[in-house]
Amino acid sequence: MSRGRLVALEGGEGCGKSTQAARLATRLGAVLTREPGGTAVGERVRDLLLDPALVDLDPRAEALFMAAARAQHVAEVISPALAAGHDVVTDRYAHSSLAYQGFGRGLDVEAVRALSDFATGGLWPDLVVLLDVPADVAAGRLGALDRFEAAGAAFHQRVVEGFRALAAAEPDRWVVVSGVGSVDDVAERVWQAVSR
């Protein structure tokens, strides 16, 4: 039996990636999961990370919580599924840490990469789909704000530009798909990109 493939959906806030991750997983017959979260431990860490009441979480502590949740996610869900031959679609993965904690919070991107490398035992996605949407479209899709969504426009601009830079640096691993349009239109674009 061959090992499954790991596909990550990435993007800024309000890009529609959770909807598209679910659609893609169904169409591929893949396991669907998400970060931060995907395990009982990870979902508890997620609650902490998204809580807007936590006003002074240090960026390094934030990066370490993300990495801790990811380590559990890989050990408990992703690696066993891939080993059993299942494809896995994850709604965010390690490149979110590079974009948010690196480009967004200003931590050294290579240090955050090394941290994710440690957390995952070196497991990086076979393919990353970046859902790209203009900032005004994304803002129109948000409801009540969590701790990241409340972080301000300049932060989110750095995150979006960070994702674009990461995609440009590794064109064999990334596909950039426009997230503008109906759910069906975007799903079709994602499918075409992944099929290629």
Q: What's the closest the beta carbon of residue 98 comes to ligand TYD, in angstroms? A: 8
Site for ligand TYD in 59-78 (CB under 6 A): 66
120 binds ligand TYD per the rule CB under 6 A: no
- Binder of ligand TYD out of 33, 72, 89, 92 (CB under 6 A): 92
Could you give the CA distance from residue 164 to residue 36 in angstroms, rounded to a whole number?
21
100 binds ligand TYD per the rule CB under 6 A: yes
Which residue, 17 or 189, is less far from ligand TYD as judged by CB? Answer: 17
Q: What's the closest the beta carbon of residue 21 comes to ligand TYD, in angstroms? A: 9
79 binds ligand TYD per the rule CB under 6 A: no
The helix or strand, by DSSP H or E, that contains position 191, with its residue range, turns out to be helix 183-195
How many residues belong to the site for ligand TYD (CB under 6 A)? 12
Residue 176 phi/psi, 5° resolution?
A: -105, 125
Which residue, 57 or 84, is less far from ligand TYD as judged by CB? Answer: 57
Site for ligand TYD in 23-62 (CB under 6 A): 35-36
Closest CA to 72 of 113, 38, 99: 38
Choose one: 91-99, 121-129, 167-175, 186-194; the region binding ligand TYD (CB under 6 A): 91-99
Q: Tokens 């080993």 sit at which residue? A: 83
Are the C-beta atoms of 187 and 24 separated by less than 8 Å? yes
Which residue, 84 or 183, is less far from ligand TYD as judged by CB? Answer: 183
Are the C-beta atoms of 36 and 42 separated by less than 8 Å? yes
* Residue 127, both tokens: 């393919």
Are the C-beta atoms of 52 and 146 separated by less than 8 Å? yes
Provide the angle, in degrees to the nearest 10, between the axes of the packed helices 40-50 and 59-73: 160
10 binds ligand TYD per the rule CB under 6 A: no
* Residue 17, both tokens: 């990636």
- Binder of ligand TYD out of 91, 107, 133, 160 (CB under 6 A): 91
* Residue 132, both tokens: 């790209």
Which residues of this protein are in contact with ligand TYD, per CB under 6 A? 13, 18, 35-36, 66, 91-92, 96-97, 100-101, 148
